[in-house]
Structure 1
Amino acid sequence: MHQNKTSDSPSILIIGTGFGGLGMAIQLKKAGFHNLTLLEKADRVGGTWRDNTYPGAACDVQSHFYSYSFEPKHDWSRKFGLQKEILGYMEHCVCKYGLSDHIRFNAEVQEATFDEARNQWAVTLANGEELKASVLITATGQLNQPAWPEIEGMERFAGKMFHSARWDHDYDLTNKRVAVIGTGASAIQFVPEIARQVKSLALFQRSAAWVLAKPDRPFRAWEQTLFKTVPGWDRLYRCLIYWKNESRALAFTKFKGLLELFAREAKKEARKHVTDPGKLKHIIPDYQIGCKRILISNDWYPAINQPHVNLVTAPIDRINEDGVVTRDGRHYPVDAIIFGTGFRASEFLSPMTVRGRSGVSLNQAWKDGASAFKGITVSGFPNLFILYGPNTNLAHNSIVYMLESQFRYVLSALNALKENPGSAMDVRKDRQERFSSEVQSSLTGSVWDAGCTSWYLDSNGKNTINWPGFTFMYRFATRSVNTADYRFYQNGKPGQPQTTD
């Protein structure tokens, strides 16, 4: 299955079965590439939508646009999809496009090494098995490694402790004293849900989040019928969502003054729902709106306002056997601690080791921060294509749209490889560097450059996460591969492909 000697089509390994991996596999099959295997570390598909099953888990991009353009779903229950429904949609896609035969579950990748003599990738699984393929596509996403904080005494805690991305559904929170550490995108969704059942909730906040009202509601039956029966209606609806979301890129990059309108809106929401003056003072951020991810929720502020919810802004000093101690010496006794501390988003492809030409590891290549040509290819790593790679995240629109742009680019690359059978394409270092410096200079002066610490920045303070502009510009930039951007290697030696523009 992994090596098809009779075909000129390259054998392809895809790592991950989230929106990136599944969508890529579907497009490959449609284009006639059937010699492919998807490797999934877990026992079912879904990526971040499989892992994040915490109460209230939902998307903050509208359902009709957080789905593949080639596979519309007409019966979304709400304007913004819930976790179970999104996961169900992905499983439906696996079924419809016959991907089951191509997926290997419980196949965690430990290492991937490029063999220059054979122009092949050798991929080692956690069980020691080795697979070979001409092309390696990573679709591991940016939100798959939970970030655990380093707090002294965590191992001493005698109660229940878990991360929101690994929710323990067997543990009943009813009438328990609970600590939640972190107030990011996940906490915004699960805190209002658990606040209804817990006895008391100590919410430890390092910095407040800007929270806007979520324009969410269930779809009415007649709306779903329209989507289903009127040709082009869902296309038009998608198009309207796209341009509405896309217009926000202006505020993030060029006209930061526009964000003040959002800030005013968020403050108004907070004042409407939070009547406790002490809480209100701490729940409105002191940094520029948009510098960190803007969150949307209708029940966050009402949840904060409840008397049994204690908003703690003093830094945490340590955790002991029965609770959390803050630096001001206060002790908060709790039965359970839930970490809503997000993901190690800037550690792309970790914990895998990826080695390219001359045995150079991706970590070495990225010691000054992750970068990739068009967010997809890295110099020194031939025939490696990264989906949702460096600087392809968005703060204003749907990642699925970015992924579909990447699918097209990868297919174009595979067609270029088909014309040079047995070769490997490696992006030129100067092209990658030029692209990366353009991205970084576009980010300068953007709202993410406003001086706050956020998960958009890596340990060096470099924004390796966000795309600095419009998504239609990204789609234009990735419409097809220009082979002049690449070197083609035959048996480890540079070949001469036909250059196209």
Structure 2
Amino acid sequence: MPSPSPATPRIAIVGSGFAGIGMAIRLRQMGLESFTIYEAAGDIGGTWRDNTYPGAACDVPSHLYSFSFEPNPGWTSAYGPQAEILAYLKHCVRKYGLEPFVRCHARVAAARFDESRQVWRLEIEHGERAAHAAAGDDAVGATPGAAPALPTADAWTGRETIEADIVIAASGPLSRPALPRIAGLERFAGKLFHSARWDHDYSLDGKRIAVIGTGASAIQFVPQIQPRVTQLELFQRTAPWIMPKPDKPVSERAQWWFRHLPFTQRFVRGAIYWQLESRAIAFVVNPKLMKYPMKFGISYLERRVKDPALRAKLTPNYRLGCKRVLMSSDYYPALSQPNVDVVTSAIREIVADGIVTEDGIHHAADAIICGTGFQVNGVGAPFDVTGIGGADLGARWLRDGPEAYLGTSIADFPNFFMMAGPNTGLGHNSMIYMIESQVQYIADCLSELRRRGARTMNLRPDVQQAFNARLQEDMRRSVWASGCHSWYQTKSGKVTAIWPGFTFSFRKRTRRVRTHDYRFVR
């Protein structure tokens, strides 16, 4: 089938979270309707569809965690709960007429660039099984405690190959749950699941529960399940920095103002943005300034945890901000309850009826909940991507760590764009701001292709190399290079997840495409 003209390119969007939906809305506003959103699961929503654990909520204020062009005057709390955020995304899909463009139960398994025809060939696995794999059934396993496994070729109900002129990978970095690599994981005879694949059919009431991990998810669900269980043992490798979460209901009166006088909500949004953006000074300009919030964090810990032995376990040993800063007002009180024990001894192995730590103690458990985050570094690309001359994106990332230009374009992969890609994450502000910046950049790239009548645009390798060399140089003075190790980094210590600057500087860089950064082919 002959390819459409550059004015009507065939566009494949992979993923239906904030990034995919935001990009699709912009395409329709540009008059482009030759696109399809491929979603492996059975519904839209990305991470806010997948993470349904008790207490799931955002740690960015609600009024900033939405598209700037589509404010939500109906937020019921200062920090949006999962259900409201998912409802907001579904509202956006309905309002902007995206339903006909979304194809669920369709997993993009591979994308290969056909140099002779200057098009992308995408392998799509579809059917209910594709949704199960996307939801993590193959990762966690139907059998309790099954080790992570890749689905086999015959696991899907169907497979097809489609062509696209443009590929926009919008699945995001927090889409693949990571189970811990612990000996004996597959031997556990009780219930085992990841927090991002919460089993709501399994009752925790009266059970002995082991929680592995103390990250952003665990600090939300632990206080919710603590009153229901007989015993909760929390296995902690590193104590996180935790600040109180200033969450409170949004009054009906305030909602009325936001709905009938929209400028009031815009004012609140702007005030929140600049308040959060000012924190970047300590993250990326002068990390020594972190000593002030660190004093506050220790004071908060001392006020909420009276037991000196427990307080010692919960005291962080690294500079605040080096790992993700967490927010909770009920986590410390939950850990202080008599049915909770914080275990800091490393896990030696998992056995049929529990966990054995390095000190030889056996910890009996009916269920193990893994709050162990996501696969960000050391796992390659989100799906197989092959570019010019057989360039393998996954192999490159495994060798050098994830890398891109403005987190969006990658040399040797023409017309392939990423959203929420390498070094676009934030430690201080809203990712929606970064996503909207990338939407603008990709839209400008598409406009430039159309203006030139070009088929493809390919990033120059020297541009990518120079950009990342400067980025890593900037990273050296940031808090993320202050000595700790986190999921922001590769095993070698290279920070590949975080943007080492102000968000408005990223917005400025992505406002217009620099045409000399690319090679265009008609």
Superposed pair shares fold, TM > 0.5: yes
2:115 aligned with 1:116, yes or no?
Answer: yes
Q: d(CA) in 2 for partners of 1:7 and 1:374?
A: 24
Distance 2:296 2:229 in 1: 30
Q: Take 1:3 and 1:332, find their aligned partners in 2: how far apart are those partners? A: 63
- The partner residue of 1:214 within 245, 259, 279 is 245
Superposed CA deviations along residues 99-157 of structure 1, whole A, max 9, x for unmatched, are: 11001101111100011111111000123201111100000101001111111111111
Alpha-carbon distance between aligned partners in 1 of 2:382 and 2:513, rounded to the nearest angstrom: 29
C-alpha deviation, 1:363, in angstroms:
2.1
Over 3 Å counting, the alpha-carbon distance change for 1:260 and 1:243 in structure 2 is same
Give runs of aligned pairs for residues 391-470 of structure 1, distance below 5 A.
391-470=423-502
For residue 420 of structure 1, report the CA deviation from its aligned partner. 3.0
Q: d(CA) in 2 for partners of 1:44 and 1:37? A: 14
User: Relative to structure 2, which stretch is displaced further, 88-97 or 121-130?
Assistant: 121-130
Residue identity matched to 1:469: G
Distance apart, 1:6 and its partner CA:
6.6
1:410 alignment partner AA:
I
Which residue matches 2:4?
5
Match of residue 373 from structure 1: 405
SS at match of 2:106: coil
1:87-102 correspondence to structure 2 within 5 Å: 87-102=86-101
* Residue from 510, 515, 519 that aligns with 1:478: 510
* Kept after mapping to 1: 8 A contact 2:324/2:427: yes
Match of residue 32 from structure 2: 33
Gaps of 5+ in 1: 491-501
- CA shift, 1:417, in A, is 0.8
Q: Which residue of 2 aligns with 1:321?
A: 352
- Asked if the contact 2:6–2:453 (Cα under 8 Å) also holds between the matched residues in 1, the reply is no
CA drift at 1:387: 0.4
- 1:274 aligned to which of 284, 297, 305: 305
1:150 aligns with 2:162: no
User: Given the two structures, how large is their TM-score scaled by the length of structure 1?
Assistant: 0.96
Please give the alpha-carbon distance, in whole angstroms, between the structure 2 residues aligned to 1:485 and 1:4.
25
Instruction: Name the aligned partner's letter for residue 289 of structure 1.
Output: L
2:221 to 174, 186, 190: 190
SS at match of 1:223: helix
Q: Deviations over 1:361-417 (max 9, x none)?
A: 102333211211111000000000100111000000000000000000000000111
Deviation of residue 231 (structure 1)?
A: 3.7
Distance 1:105 1:63 in 2: 27
Q: CA contact under 8 A between 1:213 and 1:297: conserved in structure 2?
A: yes
CA distance in 1: counterparts of 2:379 and 2:78, whole angstroms? 31
Q: Is the 8 A contact 2:79 2:247 kept in 1?
A: yes
Mapped partners of 2:379, 2:39: distance in 1: 17
Measure how far apart 1:225 and its partner are: 1.0
Counterpart in the other structure of 1:169: 200
The answer (yes or no) to whether the contact 1:12–1:137 under 8 Å persists in 2 is: yes
Q: What is the Cα deviation at residue 82 of structure 1?
A: 0.3
Query: Which residue type is aligned with residue 470 of structure 2?
Result: E
| Distance verdict in 2 for CA 1:240–1:3, change over 3 Å | farther
Alignment partner, residue 79 of structure 1 = 78
Distance 1:201 1:21, change over 3 A: same
Q: Secondary structure at the match of 1:72?
A: coil
Question: Hey, what does 2:417 align to over in structure 1?
Answer: 385
Aligned pair partner of 2:340 in 305, 309, 316: 309
Residue 255 of structure 1 and its aligned partner are, at CA, apart by 2.0
Percent identity over the alignment is: 48
Letter paired with 1:32 = G
Unaligned runs of 5+ in 2: 126-157
Question: What residue in structure 2 maps to residue 361 of structure 1?
Answer: 392
Partner residue of 2:143? Answer: none
CA distance in 2, matches of 1:196, 1:448: 36
Q: Is the 8 A contact 2:6 2:455 kept in 1?
A: no
